[in-house]
Copies of this chain bind each other. A is one copy, B any other.
Amino acid sequence: MSISFQIKHKSKKSKARTGKLITPHGEIDTPAFMPVGTQGSVKTVTPQMLNEIGAQIILCNAYHIYIRPGSDLVKEAGGIHKFIRWDKPILTDSGGFQVYSLADIRKITDEGVEFKSHKDGAKIFFTPEKVVQMQLDIGADIIMPLDECAHYQAPRKVVEDAVIRTTKWEKTAQQYFTDQKAKKQTGHSSLFGIVQGGTHADLRKRSCEEIAALDFPGFGIGGLSVGEPHEEMQAMLEVVADHLPEEKPRHLMGVGYAKDIIESVKRGVDLFDCVIPTRLARHGSFLTMDRFEGLRKAQYEKDFSVLDPKCDCYACRGGFTKAYIRHLLMAREILGYTLLSIHNLRFLMRLMADLRKKIKEGQI
């Protein structure tokens, strides 16, 4: 079974839409936010908590899982869903971005990228074929091809070369995936495409057109949320919305602040993922519509109110006060990170539900 996408409501005020993404492990109401479990665990929360939070899909990182515990081990365990005890949909990011941000890159050619593992320095060569195969071994519902993500403010030529190479790699990836599918070796995985192009409108357009021509069932929007101003990101999303097929789902990778999500939904984005709900939690902060707020501040020492009285998460519903969570943070008690992670993830689930409602009711 492959994935399918149904658009339910289209806004008349913007490019926003609601939809349903149907995967072998369940359905996702879009626009949706995916909690990130980089190494096969959404940090500090259990799968049971993720279910209670309302997560319908999570994202894992194929590069990290390939490095440890190994995609072969996950395959031997019966696949990622069984291994990590999450029976709902999973998307694996290819890890192309991590290769650029974490690893010591030695060489990029049209054949692939040679780099040293961030874990132990071992030399690794990733090809478009290998990146598909390791994700087939891992066995997520949605998998991503190897792409090249140019740094923000990289010279135009570098961004252009990355666009060209990304298209070339994705053609190779799609061919490999199609061959494996013919041999019934793709399990329940579907391969998305990824568009690049930095913040250059013409390169974005070109990448969209080239990748759209490859007929993937959905698309990741890469190379954004890498340091560019909010307005530049939104300008690029306008371009993407105009040049990717309307009927297919679009995943804006690495975006998690409320303001960015709301504006991106208005530009037709269906899927989001980001580490910030759990990362900010470990830094002692909780998400707000504004951005986030640090709970270690002295003003919260005797604040016996919950993080958000309107929130229905375990932390707020359970009556855990700011003063108590702050104490846990000051005492480095892990429960503090868990409660903040639950709250931050639920904050985004509630935001997405609210956006879906507003689109349906014609408010945005």
Check if A84 sits within 8 Å of B46, measured CB to CB. no
How far in angstroms is the closest Cβ of chain B from A113? 23
The docked-state distance in angstroms from the alpha carbon of A336 to that of B39 is: 12
A342 vs chain B, min Cβ distance (A): 9
Known A73-B301, A73-B302; judge A324-B84 contact (CB<8 A). Answer: yes
The count of identical subunits is: 2
* Cα distance, A324 to B46, chains bound together (Å): 13
CB pair B68 A327 closer than 8 Å: yes
Q: Is the Cβ of A43 less than 8 Å from the Cβ of B324?
A: no
Q: How far is the CB of A128 from chain B (nearest CB, A)?
A: 26
Q: Does A334 contact B (CB under 8 A)?
A: yes
Q: Which one of B76, B82, B314 lies within 8 Å of A48 (CB-CB)?
A: B314
CB-CB contacts below 8 Å: A26-78 with B: 39-41, 43-48, 68-69, 73, 76-78
Least CB distance, A82 to chain B, in whole angstroms: 8
Is A330 touching B68 in the complex (CB atoms < 8 A)? yes
Bound Cα distance A84, B43 (Å) = 22
Contact of A85 among B41, B47, B318 (CB under 8 A): B318
Q: A304-B77, A324-B77 are in contact. Are A333 and B69 (CB under 8 A)?
A: no
Inter-subunit contact A335/B68 (CB<8 Å): no
Chain B min CB distance to A55 (Å): 15
| A337 CA / B334 CA spacing, docked (Å) | 10
- In the complex, A292 has a CB within 8 A of chain B: no
A319 CB–B CB distance under 8 Å: yes
Q: Is the CB of B46 within 8 A of A321?
A: no
Q: Is A189 an interface residue (CB 8 A)?
A: no
The answer to whether B46 and A314 have CB atoms under 8 Å apart is yes
* A257 in the interface (beta carbon within 8 A): no
**A335 contacts B45, CB within 8 Å?**
yes
Please tell me if A83 contacts chain B, counting CB pairs below 8 Å: yes
Complex Cα distance, B336 from A43, in Å, reads: 10
The reply to whether A41 and B333 form a contact with Cβ atoms under 8 Å apart is yes
Is B85 a contact of A324 with CB atoms below 8 Å? yes
* Shortest Cβ distance from A334 into B: residue: B44
Assess the B333–A39 pair: CB atoms within 8 A.
Answer: yes
For the complex, give the distance between the alpha carbons of A69 and B337 in Å: 17
Complex interface: chain B residues within 8 A of A328 (CB): 39-41
B48–A327 CB distance below 8 A: no
Is A331 on the interface with B (CB-CB < 8 A)? yes
Query: For the complex, is A135 an interface residue (Cβ under 8 Å from B)?
Result: no
The distance from the CB of A300 to the nearest CB of chain B, in whole angstroms, is 11
- Does B318 contact A43, Cβ atoms closer than 8 Å? no
Most buried by B among A69, A84, A304, A339: A69
Q: Is A338's CB within 8 Å of the partner chain B?
A: yes
| A–B Cβ pairs within 8 angstroms, 6 of them | A40-B327, A43-B335, A48-B314, A69-B323, A83-B323, A83-B324
Q: Which residues of A contact B (CB under 8 A)?
A: 39-41, 43-48, 68-69, 73, 76-78, 82-85, 301-302, 304, 314, 318-321, 323-324, 327-328, 330-331, 333-339
